[in-house]
Amino acid sequence: MLNLAVCVSGGGTNLQAIIDAIDGGSITNTRITAVISNNAGAYALERAKSRGIEAACISPKQFGSREEFNQAFLEKLDSYQPDLVVLAGFLVVLPEMMIKKYKDRIINIHPSLIPSFCGKGYYGLKVHEGALKRGVKVTGATVHFVDEGTDTGPILLQQPVAVEPGDTPETLQRRVMEQAEWKILPKAIDLIANGKVRVEGGKALVSE
């Protein structure tokens, strides 16, 4: 059984997609042991509580320094003994010590086809604003393993989504979530839970 810790900063739509996929059987051998947010007002925490999932908030604002927060955050995460950490819209830069400790056991969902529209400054609507400004015809989402860089870890899954005439950042964001994020994040978790993914030579290899 794969124990998940899901880290979320906002509404938790990707968290809900994971919960629904576990309920529906498209994610197997998996349970969510905890949801952690840096935002006390995150609706994701309510989603977790309503399902009897442990929900915790730990914010940098609670600490005198970033180092203190990093240490407390890692200790909180460790207390849940996760096999896999899922960043589902988590707007906090992970401490390096956490990335090293959980090497190849942290995945992130990013709302573009990496390496496009990713890296520092590209998050939330900013990703879709960038895509529309550039005039791309296809965007999408990427699930990747997390390393010390920003959106630079091994790519696990990608799903393209067409950009349509008249799209706004908001309409494009919604369609990328519905057609890509909510599909490939649960699929990635199921692949990992069933031993079908390995990281080798800086690449994520999938065996169906």
Catalytic-role residue among 47, 110, 128, 187? 110
In which band, very low, low, confident or very high, does the pLDDT at 83 lie, cut at 50, 70 and 90?
Answer: very high
CA distance 193 to 173: 28
In the block, residue with structure tokens 């442990």: 54
CA distance 59 to 38: 4
In which band, very low, low, confident or very high, does the pLDDT at 204 lie, cut at 50, 70 and 90?
Answer: very high
pLDDT surpassing 90 at residue 208: no
pLDDT surpassing 80 at residue 128: yes
CA distance 141 to 11: 18
Average pLDDT, stretch 154-178? 98
Average pLDDT, stretch 77-92? 96
CA atoms within 13 A on the CB side of 11: 5
pLDDT in tens, 170-193: 999 999 999 999 999 999 999 999
Q: Share the mean pLDDT of the chain.
A: 96
Tell me if the pTM is above 0.85: yes
pLDDT in tens, 39-80: 999 999 999 999 999 999 999 999 999 999 999 999 999 999
In which band, very low, low, confident or very high, does the pLDDT at 36 lie, cut at 50, 70 and 90?
Answer: very high
In the block, residue with structure tokens 């349509």: 164
Helix H or strand E segment including 156: strand 155-162
pLDDT in tens, 21-35: 999 999 999 999 999
In the residue annotation, 128 being an active-site residue is answered as no
Closest C-alpha to 59, from 103, 33, 91:
91
